[in-house]
Structure 1
């Protein structure tokens, strides 16, 4: 598709493509080019369509693999380029790449949060739960959030995800306790988030608010 006017992108695709060629196999370069087309063509869509399109593409394109297998570490937060390079990631990586992709298409980060939850395993009546991360979207500050999950491709309101119990969430603005509406702490408390933001910037993704 040819664009008749300049379209701003916080993702420096020239740099990302160069790094993909240097660090990874040819399929990584192809996926970076796909991401470029996806983000550019999504910028003019209504927000609901942006959410659906980004969520479906990322869930379909990448495999879920635990950090211990993928990175030989118990907990590693990958940059979007690192996730593309591996063609896989864990729940944090899915949430991060969706957050950065939607941010680039024009969705305000005020509406987006990376949300840590306790996920019940084996159904809503299960007593077994594990830590999980999803991306949540608030159309308005007081709106019920929509949940973008790598485990379920359908975007559902939080009330239709009784298997998830919110613990805390965060974005560029700060850290939110539970399902709180206002930040309760600075992102300075989240060293992994600050670290992955710095590594993203080195990769060529301008993540400043």
Structure 2
């Protein structure tokens, strides 16, 4: 099993105001090169994982998750992957885990540590679902303002979730480390989308229609860096 322990159920503490000001009114589309499932070299991945300090049983459980997913429908894949990381990873912030204020860990790094923040939960689920055959264009990483204490709360914190779109215009299903149950976005009034992205592009909010124009931010340069490091590990 992934290392167990009490996981703090809180959104990420990173501020979102500056991102919101820049992105709510400047939607963009950026074409990237990640999001197509391919056959993984598990021996290579295991060597890298062990080099990061991970244990073979943890890796084999993740590998078994992918093996089992081959015979599952998409909704069951979403549930299994969401549960795997929500139950197995402990929540922690980047400073205590990595000694940095904002570090985007690769899937293997997160598994090896057994800990992560909301971005790490989300990216780990994203790359696992890609590896399980879910098309990349149907998955979005979504920055949101999460209302602490429920939809009527006026207290918000920055948070990230993964969204699955059955069709481009569909109400997406939300995979969240705060709530284990998969829920459509319409049933998550506590989450206010700011912008979303994946290996194919970027969108204002979480709508299914992409919009063009605009410029990069420092936060998304971390996504670009993560894509490069994930590719180096063996995730195309």
Q: Provide TM-score, normalisation by structure 1.
A: 0.89
Corresponding pairs, count? 197
Contact 2:170–2:208 under 8 Å retained in 1: no
Note the 1:135-146 alignment, pairs <5 A: 135-146=162-173
Q: Does 1:198 align with 2:228?
A: yes
Higher RCO (CA 8 Å, separation ≥ 6 residues) = 2
CA contact (8 A) 1:168 1:175 kept: yes
Q: CA deviation at 1:137?
A: 0.6
The match for 1:14 among 32, 38, 43 is: 43
TM-score after normalising by structure 2: 0.79
Which segment drifts farther, 76-85 or 8-17?
8-17
Offset at residue 13 of structure 1 (A): 1.4
Residue 179 of structure 1: aligned partner: 206
Give matches, 1:70-89, under 5 Å. Answer: 70-89=97-116
Q: Distance in 2 between matches of 1:156 and 1:138?
A: 12
- Equivalent residue, structure 2, for 1:97: 124
TM-superposed CA distance for 1:179, in Å, is: 2.6
8 Å CA contact retained: 2:126, 2:139: yes
Distance in 2, Cα, partners of 1:182 & 1:9: 26
Deviation at 1:182, TM superposition (A): 2.7
Partners in 1 of 2:41 and 2:177 — Cα distance? 25
CA RMSD of aligned residues (A): 1.8
**Residues 148-163 of structure 1: matches in 2 within 5 Å?**
148-163=175-190
CA contact (8 A) 2:136 2:198 kept: yes
- Displacement, 1:9? 4.9
List gaps (5 residues or longer) in structure 2: 1-36
Contact 1:12 1:205 in 2 (8 A): no
Matched, 1:127 2:154: yes
5+ residue gaps, structure 1: 1-7
Aligned residue for 2:196, secondary structure, equals strand
- SS of the aligned residue for 1:133 comes to strand
Q: Which residue does 1:4 correspond to in 2?
A: none
Partners of 1:106 and 1:59 in 2: how far apart? 20
